[in-house]
Amino acid sequence: MGNKGMTVAHRQDIHFDFSGKKVLVTGGTSGLGAGIANAFANSGAHVTITGTRAQAADYDADLDRFDYRQLDVEDNASIDALADGIPALDVLVNNAGNSFFAAGLDEHDPDVFARAVQVHLNAPFRLVQRLADQLADSTQSGGGAVIGIGSVTSFMGMAVTLGYGAGKTGLLGMTRGLAVDLGPRNIRVNVVAAGVTRSRMTANVFAEKAWSEPTLARTPLGRMGEPEDIAGPVLFLASSAASWITGTTIMVDGGYTVSG
């Protein structure tokens, strides 16, 4: 196909109106989280982002347009402290994650596996539980919204990301259960399952042609994803346009999982 390996220009054409709405994006200092946070801010929202460092100034990126909070998703006390400091909320985006494999750790190790499940499943659940009252009080059309950032590893086995895949797969089941549980409180819960998307976490992996070239060759749209590719579906699911959508997963992967 002639489009293999093509790139896409940075887009600013995601049009939703979240004026005055309060949005929390965990892990919003870079990559997918930054793309999502910027899209919400461009749509008028007051956006709070989290990161692992003590303050926003500790990052190279310009984060002045956001309210910054420190969060360690491996620490339940840190999660509780964050939730206690969020008095009102319309949209929660559970994006914070970590590639233990990319960090050189073996996800077959039971302790590393448990850390991966904590980060990608237990922490998002705890945040939803702790922030449910605030989301239930949302006045936005369509009610409060929770969007989890899932992964293609929920739909296909990848041995090196065993813990990550388990956590992301659990996220799908948790989302369906929470949709039933929280629907009567006017809270919608959905997932955007992201394919391989350009970020700091994937940079080292994509530098290896032995991995990146077959991945792109299998992808019908012929390129890796950009943070903006994920941001659009997230904003849609958070908006009133999706007010009758809950408990579902939108796959955003350039067609990777449907290609043989």
Crossing angle of helices 76-84 and 123-136, in 10° steps, is 10
CA distance 66 to 60: 14
CA distance 69 to 86: 10
Local structure of residue 43 (DSSP, 8 states)? T
CA distance 10 to 217: 22
CA distances from 218 to 71, 138, 171, 235 (A): 36, 42, 25, 27
CA distance 33 to 49: 8
CA distance 146 to 190: 6
Pick the catalytic residue: 59, 68, 164, 256? 164
Could you give the strand order of the β-sheet that contains 144-151, starting from the edge strand earlier in sequence? 67-70, 46-51, 22-25, 91-94, 144-151, 187-194, 249-252
Give yes or no: 68 in active site.
no
Cα-flanking dihedrals φ and ψ of residue 258, to 5°? -100, 0
- Which residues carry out catalysis? 164
